[in-house]
Structure formats: C-alpha cells, structure tokens
Amino acid sequence: MLKPKKKITKKEIQRDPFLESIDQAQSHLKEKKSIYLKVAVGLVILLIGFKVITEKNSQKNSDASGALGQALVALERGDDNNAQFQLETVITKFTGTQSAKIAGYHLGKMKYESGDHTGAEIYLSQFLNDQVVDIMESSAAFMLADISAQAGDINTAISLLDKGIQKSKDDHTHRMLELEKAKLILAQGNYERARTIADGIISEKNVTPVQKQVAEEILGKIPG
C-alpha cells in the first residue's frame, strides 16, 4: 500500500540548506550594499586614475622622443653648443624616460670627445647603470675603460671592457673590445693571456684587416 505523500510546509522549505544559503547571500548583499557600492566607485576611480597616468606618461615619452630627435639633428649638423643644450634639457625635463637616458649617453660621449673626462664619466656611468641599449652600453663601457686606463686604473678598465663584451651583440664590436682588453693585459705583463686573445681573434672568420693588424701588433710586442 502506497504511503501518502508528505506535505512539505513553508517552514521546512525555508530550512532547506540550499535555499537558506541563497537567502543569506541576498540578505548579506542588502546589508553590505553601501559598502560594495563604495568599493565599486573606488575601483572606477582607480581605473580612471591609471588611465590618466598612462596617457600622461605616454605623452611625456612622446615629447621626450621628439626633443631627443631635435638634439640629435643638431648634433649631426655639428651644432655642438645647441646639441648640448638640448640634450641637457631632455635629461632635466624628461627625467626617467628612455629618451633622457639616451640623451645622457650622447652628452657623455660629447664630453669624452672634448676631453672632459670627469663630466663624461658621470653621464656614461649613469647610462651604463640604466642598461638601456646594449650596443650603446658597449660603447659607453669602452669610453669609461679608456678614461680609467688613462688614469692608470687598469683593473677597472679591464672590468669595464668585460661589461662591454657581455653586452656586445655583434662580432665586430666584440672583437674590438677584446683587442682593447688584450692591450691592457699586455701592459700588465700577462703575455700568455694577451697572446690567447690575439690568436683567437686572428683565427676567427670575417676578421677585418684592421682587427687582424691590431692583433698582430699585440703578438709582436710579446717577448720570445
């Protein structure tokens, strides 16, 4: 004999765990509505602020790039005074941008070529620390190494050349830095190490006549 179906009361429905969880969630949302609204508004404000900052930085980078371009045009034309002024302006006005860091390299290079080693060292060292463009880092390391070598600090010069060698992305730059390093090592009296570098370069493919000549000159200065 079939049992009569049990009548489910409204009270029992309300005690259903699943339905209770729904009710609790709805009740929680009602109670916390103002808090969630404030959080949502806060997130919107943060997103708007981020967008404004991003657009501002984008405009700053664009302006910095344009200013650097003008400075390099002046440098290319041989207008050194104007170029120096514009490079200094880029560094001061657009601090932190990649263009400002590159401007520091060119300003340091100008000072190096003019014989202002103290000024050159300041800008080139900063550029090397910033690690912006590998090929320019190799060049900066070479100039700083030359400054150290002229000051008699051979160990620092060799260390700087090693940094440049690590950053060099093409065989030509790599070999030129290695040859400069070999010259300094030779000056320290480490003949075998200098010989190893010079012999290694001569044995490489696509060595330029100048590089081969420098390597042979190094070998020619080694006693015995």
At 46, the pLDDT band (50, 70, 90 cuts) reads low
At 11, the pLDDT band (50, 70, 90 cuts) reads very low
- Tokens 């010989």, located at residue: 195
At 15, the pLDDT band (50, 70, 90 cuts) reads very low
Which residue intervals of the chain bear CATH 1.25.40? 62-132, 145-224
- pTM for the complete prediction? 0.70
Mean pLDDT of the region 5-27: 44
Does residue 216 carry a pLDDT above 90?
yes
Which of 176, 178, 204 lies closest to 193 in space, CA to CA?
Answer: 178
Burial class (CB in 10 A: 0-12, 13-18, 19+), 144: buried
**Residues 91-133 pLDDT 10s:** 999 888 888 888 898 899 899 989 999 999 999 999 988 877 6
What is the CATH T-level fold of the domain 145-224, as seen in this structure? 1.25.40
Domain formed by 62-132, architecture:
Alpha Horseshoe (1.25)
CA distance 36 to 42: 10
